[in-house]
Structure 1
Amino acid sequence: MGNADYAYPNADCVHRVAIPPPQPFFKSLKYSLKETFFPDDPFRKFKNQTPSIKFVLGLQYFFPIFEWAPKYTLQFLKSDLISGITIASLAIPQGISYAKLANLPPILGLYSSFIPPLIYAMMGSSRDLAVGTVAVGSLLMASMLGRVVNYIENPNLFLHLAFTATFFAGVLQASLGLFRLGFIVDFLSHATIVGFMGGAATVVCLQQLKSILGLEHFTHEADLVSVMRSVFTQTHEWRWESAVLGCCFIFFLLVTRYFSKRQPKFFWVSAMAPLASVILGSLLVYLTHAEKHGVQVIGKLKKGLNPPSVTNLVLVSPYMGTAIKTGLVTGIIALAEGIAVGRSFSMFKNYHIDGNKEMIAIGTMNIFGSFTSCYLTTGPFSRSAVNYNAGCKTAASNIVMAIAVMLTLLFLTPLFHFTPLVVLSAIIVSAMLGLIDYQAAIHLWKIDKFDFLVCFSAYVGVVFGSVEIGLVIAVAVSLLRVLLFIARPRTFLLGNIPNSAVYRNVEQYPNANHVPGILILEIDAPIYFANASYLRERITRWMDEEEDRIKASGQTSLQYVIMNMTTVANIDTSGISMLEECKKSVDRRGLQLVLVNPGSEVMKKLNKSKFLDELGHKWVYLTVEEAVGACNFMLNTYKPNPLKDDSEGWNNA
């Protein structure tokens, strides 16, 4: 049945849009706050429970180990033991490597792989996250602290600032979790993280040219131009022995990773490769005395467990500000990486992790880590992937890893004396190449060019500026996109799909027919002060374009403007003023404005503002089909001026 033949029934059969009952302001505010800060309703299981049970549930909430430990089995222990030993073999060489990347004593990498994993095992909700230091966080700390303190000239102050920055990072992370502010991390979009991590990985690889080429003097800047200038102005200091050794180990590590990807059951090959590289490199240097020929080695690592560092925190000016700034930036990045990695692997095993609990756990382990000579830790992807592939069952794999690191600290640290720095650089390079996700960038280009722009901006900002600049650019471009979506929402012209009562966007469905005498528009966003002016102008332009089209085609003159507000979830006073101005504009043209299905919040506000009284409640319909039917009925039955009071004619109809 075509629109022109639509036989509109008695008005009593029309489904009217209901106006919700008024809600007290504080009740609405309470609901909004609850949905913002407690969308998962963590307190529902505490209802109707005895105080003792509430205490146990509270203990399990902050310490999930009390939830899974009573159900622990021997089979779980077997799996976690294998996983823990496997990730320990990766954590030890990576920890030493990343500590060097952060310009900190190598032993700190081992300290940071001992205490924090134990804390996370008690407080973390992820079964697969393997805790430790990360390359991006290490680079950020070295870069931001290095601008204020030279780690060569004043190593103690630099070390103490690293502990202080870790403390403030932990305070921020735990606070976000305790105050349920985890949604802040969501401002780092997927595109932002892809570009940022890719850029940071590129910069980290560039930094390794110092060790691979055996250079003693190197720039403190991290951008591409500074690194290339530093490398090519010192060609006379290049050490071919170091370069050959580094390239060989990079090739070995990449081959083992490729083999493990092609043969997943041999995941342990790539996991053991870094430790094997350290052992082979140390033996090679020891047997050939390569340290006397320009190959730099780690040197002496002192034995023993983490010494306390509470008294080393720098809580006085002028350095405290730098530590706070570094802690905030590195804390957010570490949090985003840890939660993203945890959620990724939880999806594979079909279990839920609580983002706020993760923040509390990661924050707590960094706070206690800063007290025990550790620097920034989170859940790196490479280590967690190995943990997952090794078949871990619970967070106990972190405990096994920590015990293995503890034994290393107590008995095995002298064995790392001859480990060449170039091997550590090779381990870092091989790990970082996996973070340059060019396939994800290509996918972004194919799907969403603006997302690709965000990704590319982050990458370029990091590589040619600094890690902080890249992060700021990426977040700024992402926020700009959000603002553009809000300030310039889409409006669509709807038409009737032939032989149906369905109305769709005429751009998406070119066969949709214009309804004679009726302009049907759809607004695809909430109406706020930021977009009210634009929407008023766009709606006016739609009316002008429709009248021009009608004149050109000689069709029935325009009589009704229908606005489908199904997707308008909310409106503010600026939006209501916009609707009032649109109504006046429609009235001046001798037309009638019709609304379709405003949301509950919109209806409440339109009713309170008396706009519905001005418009007339009869001009608000539940569906576009009913609105078009009513307008067609009016056009076909009698043709009054819509500006006049036609209630008598309508009631008679």
Structure 2
Amino acid sequence: MMEPEESQPLLSHRRTHSSPPPRITIHAGMGVAKVVKMVAKNYCKKCCSVENLKERVPITNWLPKYNLHTLQCDLVAGLTVALTVIPQGLAYAKIARLPTQYGLYSAFMGCFVYCFLGTAKDITLGPTAIMSLMTAAFAYSPVENDPTYAIVLCLLCGCVQFLMGVLNLGILVNFISYPVINAFTSAAAITIGFGQVKGIFGLTDIPRDFPHMVYETFRKLPETKVWDMTMGLICLILLFLLKVSFVSSTKEIVETLLCVKVCRYIVWLTGTAANAIIVITAAGVVAILRSQDINDAISITGDIKAGLPPFRAPSFSVQNGNDTISAGTIFSGIGAGIGIVPLLGLVELIAIGKAFARQNNYKIFPNQELIAIGIANILSSFMSSYPVTGSFSRTAVNSQSGVKTPASGIVTGAVVLIALQFLTPLFFYIPKAALSAVIISAVIQMVDYKIVKKLWKANKIDLIPLFVTFVSSLGVGIEYGILIGVGVDLLLLLYPIARPKIDVSELGVVVLKVDQGVRFPAVDFLQNTVTEAATIQGDKLRSVVVDCTYVTATDYSSVQGIIELIAEFKRKDARIVFACLGTKVLDTLQDRDIPDFLVSSTVEEGCKFLQDELSPEFGDLGKSGETTVVVPPDYSGIRL
């Protein structure tokens, strides 16, 4: 017997750094064809190197160190996850609005692929609640029970993710903040969980959008089927109790007696396999009732197509009566899902991977994860799967089961294949209420209400994208809520650029200090702020010094704005001095040959110049249109 313990990964803790490719020397007179040939040869040599192979096929890092103890750990973990994924897969297919067997079709290929290409030992790929919800939102076929849209979405999702990985676009996940991800996940969990209330109470014809779903569910409560409600509530309570036993049994307690260890292991195994135990028991109850001629008391799953799905390319057309739905219509029907679903799959995978990588002391690499999940989705589409990604609940079970390497996925996938081939007739008796209870118990842990208190203490401004994402996801739909949340996030990110902080002070002369680079969104704001600070009577301006210590970058629009500002001050008999300019910014401004451009190395020197050297008539500042240096001649970086 093996009790759960903190596992030590065989995966390398650091990425293998490939040696730099040999330098290519190009001489004058070399032909274009020869240059292209040299570049191609160098690129191929780099791609075919052993170091690059280890980066792109991570199994080559841990397989040479594989041993019998590791195999034992992976077998236990793989079997345990399989007992979780089978009932979850059946349940998630309902969320995706697909026949039940498609949940299992989506549960094995990703496990096989990730074993070879994944960088995290704990992650297990397969159907998830959020991917199922996204499939229902973007890939619902007009033909009842037709999976074509979902399978095509899976293929497109894989192609997009693979391309992003090849182009090293894993960085895109960094532009979605934690509050947005958290709010989206919580809203999705509430939407999915409340959507399963109808299964618990045996209700029908409940709409899928959240506001109408809530209204119709409460309106139809008098139609509740007592047997379904009893079955559902009992399953929920038992799942809760079993999950509590799972948590308590995984705490590290030093025990010396073998019998105590065996008991703890049995309790732990019962907790991890809670979903399977509940579903099997509920199906047994239904079978007993039916043997007593009580056939319609509890709503059941019904017939599930037996056998393995055929390995074939996705179809890009659907027969709808006498009409044929073409590929173009399918693509337009999926619409924005082509971009949203791959990105959400990546976000879910990376969020889970990073959490368990920190916990178990190893690293994951987003670009390689993109390649892994991309290939997994592409190959899964050939097995009639809808989009898959990493599952939080099953990854937690995998980690707690003592997994050592991604090889546990092979065991999980094999068990799912066996279930499809031999056990599908037994799934006929599974109550819908039991599957709804499995979904609710799986997604309820995704609701993180404690984040509000944490953000309130850390940075209150982060509450804005959190609440906007959460409310919009529930109000207008999950698929649009994440887009709105990212949009608000970008606005908050860009606001300091468009409205930089400008401190105004008096040192005998008005001094304005800009706290960051000046980019095009900030041009009008800078002009207005400087002008307002310099205005004394009506339209009359007085001279000012602009402290540019922290101005490290400019662009064409900001340079144009500075030119206009200088010209406006000159028209109104005033001057503006730019102090403490960095060499890079100064060079950019000097290259434009800006008329009447005044610079100083320090704020004090700029103020002294305006106080001592400028008469009301401006004295002699040199020829109009020239750059004037108002500091000692040794000012570094100045070019006249």
TM-score scaled to structure 1, two decimals?
A: 0.78
> 1:640 Cα shift?
5.7
Equivalent residue in structure 1 for 2:77, among 67, 76, 83:
83
> 1:283 Cα shift?
2.0
Equivalent residue in structure 2 for 1:407, among 408, 412, 418:
418
Question: What is the identity, as a one-letter code, of the residue corresponding to 2:549?
Answer: M
Question: What residue number does 1:168 align with?
Answer: 156
For residues 178 and 117 of structure 1, what CA distance do their matches in structure 2 show?
A: 21
Do residues 605 (structure 1) and 588 (structure 2) align? yes
Equivalent residue in structure 2 for 1:251, among 232, 237, 261:
237
> 1:161 Cα shift?
1.6
Secondary structure of residue in 1 paired with 2:126: coil
Question: What residue number does 1:131 align with?
Answer: 125
> 1:75 Cα shift?
3.4
> In structure 2, do the counterparts of structure 1 residues 542 and 69 end up closer, same or farther at CA, with 3 Å as the change threshold?
farther
Instruction: List per-residue Cα deviations over 1:516-571 (Å, max 9, x = no partner).
Output: 32544432333222211111112333445xx79xxxxxxxx9976241332x3321
> 1:429 Cα shift?
0.6
Question: What is the identity, as a one-letter code, of the residue corresponding to 1:457?
Answer: V
Instruction: List per-residue Cα deviations over 1:356-411 (Å, max 9, x = no partner).
Output: 21111111111110111221110022222222233322211222221222332333
Do residues 149 (structure 1) and 142 (structure 2) align? yes
Equivalent residue in structure 2 for 1:56, among 44, 50, 53:
50
Question: What residue number does 2:28 align with?
Answer: none
Q: Which structure's residues are more often helix, by fraction?
A: 1
Secondary structure of residue in 2 paired with 1:434: helix
Secondary structure of residue in 2 paired with 1:221: coil
Question: What residue number does 2:493 align with?
Answer: 482
Question: What is the identity, as a one-letter code, of the residue corresponding to 2:142?
Answer: V
> 1:42 Cα shift?
9.6
> In structure 2, do the counterparts of structure 1 residues 355 and 237 end up closer, same or farther at CA, with 3 Å as the change threshold?
same
Do residues 115 (structure 1) and 109 (structure 2) align? yes
Question: What is the identity, as a one-letter code, of the residue corresponding to 2:77?
Answer: S
Secondary structure of residue in 2 paired with 1:201: helix
Instruction: List per-residue Cα deviations over 1:125-153 (Å, max 9, x = no partner).
Output: 2222111111111112123334x515xxx
For residues 160 and 491 of structure 1, what CA distance do their matches in structure 2 show?
A: 57
For residues 513 and 393 of structure 2, what CA distance do their matches in structure 1 show?
A: 47
Contact 2:301–2:428, Cα closer than 8 Å, also in 1 = yes
Contact 2:609–2:630, Cα closer than 8 Å, also in 1 = no
Question: What residue number does 1:197 align with?
Answer: 185
Secondary structure of residue in 1 paired with 2:437: helix
Contact 1:167–1:327, Cα closer than 8 Å, also in 2 = no
Instruction: List per-residue Cα deviations over 1:54-79 (Å, max 9, x = no partner).
Output: 43333333221122212323333233
Question: What is the identity, as a one-letter code, of the residue corresponding to 1:305?
Answer: L
**More off after superposition, 377-386 vs 268-277:** 268-277
Question: What residue number does 2:559 align with?
Answer: 576
Contact 2:187–2:474, Cα closer than 8 Å, also in 1 = yes
For residues 543 and 174 of structure 1, what CA distance do their matches in structure 2 show?
A: 56
Do residues 594 (structure 1) and 578 (structure 2) align? yes
Contact 1:191–1:451, Cα closer than 8 Å, also in 2 = yes
> 1:614 Cα shift?
4.7
Contact 1:110–1:409, Cα closer than 8 Å, also in 2 = yes
Equivalent residue in structure 1 for 2:385, among 368, 374, 384:
374
> In structure 2, do the counterparts of structure 1 residues 126 and 542 end up closer, same or farther at CA, with 3 Å as the change threshold?
farther
Question: What residue number does 1:47 align with?
Answer: 21
Question: What is the identity, as a one-letter code, of the residue corresponding to 2:426?
Answer: L
Question: What residue number does 2:147 align with?
Answer: 159
Instruction: List per-residue Cα deviations over 1:415-459 (Å, max 9, x = no partner).
Output: 333221111111111111111111113433444444322222222
TM-score scaled to structure 2, two decimals?
A: 0.79
Secondary structure of residue in 2 paired with 1:318: helix
Contact 2:509–2:610, Cα closer than 8 Å, also in 1 = no
> 1:648 Cα shift?
10
Question: What is the identity, as a one-letter code, of the residue corresponding to 1:563?
Answer: D
> In structure 2, do the counterparts of structure 1 residues 574 and 384 end up closer, same or farther at CA, with 3 Å as the change threshold?
same
> 1:337 Cα shift?
0.8
Equivalent residue in structure 1 for 2:471, among 440, 445, 460:
460
> In structure 2, do the counterparts of structure 1 residues 570 and 652 end up closer, same or farther at CA, with 3 Å as the change threshold?
closer
Contact 2:77–2:408, Cα closer than 8 Å, also in 1 = yes
> 1:472 Cα shift?
3.1
Question: What residue number does 2:332 align with?
Answer: 321
Question: What is the identity, as a one-letter code, of the residue corresponding to 1:451?
Answer: D
Question: What residue number does 1:533 align with?
Answer: 524
For residues 205 and 510 of structure 2, what CA distance do their matches in structure 1 show?
A: 68
RMSD: 3.4
Equivalent residue in structure 2 for 1:239, among 215, 225, 246:
225
Contact 2:165–2:369, Cα closer than 8 Å, also in 1 = yes
Do residues 69 (structure 1) and 27 (structure 2) align? no
Equivalent residue in structure 2 for 1:362, among 373, 377, 386:
373
Q: What are structure 2's unaligned runs of at least 5 residues? A: 1-13, 23-41, 252-263, 318-325, 622-627, 636-640
Do residues 338 (structure 1) and 349 (structure 2) align? yes
> In structure 2, do the counterparts of structure 1 residues 260 and 633 end up closer, same or farther at CA, with 3 Å as the change threshold?
farther
Question: What is the identity, as a one-letter code, of the residue corresponding to 1:256?
Answer: L
Contact 1:143–1:220, Cα closer than 8 Å, also in 2 = no
> In structure 2, do the counterparts of structure 1 residues 538 and 278 end up closer, same or farther at CA, with 3 Å as the change threshold?
same
For residues 422 and 164 of structure 2, what CA distance do their matches in structure 1 show?
A: 39
For residues 345 and 436 of structure 2, what CA distance do their matches in structure 1 show?
A: 22
Question: What is the identity, as a one-letter code, of the residue corresponding to 2:213?
Answer: V
**More off after superposition, 202-211 vs 63-72:** 63-72
Instruction: List per-residue Cα deviations over 1:491-516 (Å, max 9, x = no partner).
Output: 235xxxxxxxxxxxxxxxxxxxx663
> In structure 2, do the counterparts of structure 1 residues 41 and 341 end up closer, same or farther at CA, with 3 Å as the change threshold?
closer
**More off after superposition, 352-361 vs 313-322:** 313-322
Instruction: List per-residue Cα deviations over 1:200-221 (Å, max 9, x = no partner).
Output: 1111112112211112x32343
Secondary structure of residue in 2 paired with 1:45: coil
> 1:644 Cα shift?
4.5
> In structure 2, do the counterparts of structure 1 residues 257 and 589 end up closer, same or farther at CA, with 3 Å as the change threshold?
farther
Instruction: List per-residue Cα deviations over 1:225-244 (Å, max 9, x = no partner).
Output: x2134324434431112112
Instruction: List per-residue Cα deviations over 1:8-48 (Å, max 9, x = no partner).
Output: xxxxxxxxxxxxxxxxxxxxxxxxxxxxxxxx999853524
For residues 42 and 579 of structure 1, what CA distance do their matches in structure 2 show?
A: 48
> In structure 2, do the counterparts of structure 1 residues 311 and 463 end up closer, same or farther at CA, with 3 Å as the change threshold?
closer
> 1:324 Cα shift?
5.3
For residues 597 and 346 of structure 1, what CA distance do their matches in structure 2 show?
A: 44
> In structure 2, do the counterparts of structure 1 residues 240 and 197 end up closer, same or farther at CA, with 3 Å as the change threshold?
same
How do residues 420-435 of structure 1 correspond to structure 2 at under 5 angstroms? 420-435=431-446
Contact 1:518–1:562, Cα closer than 8 Å, also in 2 = no
**More off after superposition, 58-67 vs 422-431:** 58-67
**More off after superposition, 586-595 vs 296-305:** 586-595
**More off after superposition, 241-250 vs 325-334:** 325-334
Question: What residue number does 2:323 align with?
Answer: none
Secondary structure of residue in 2 paired with 1:47: coil
Q: What are structure 1's unaligned runs of at least 5 residues? A: 1-39, 494-513, 549-556, 622-626
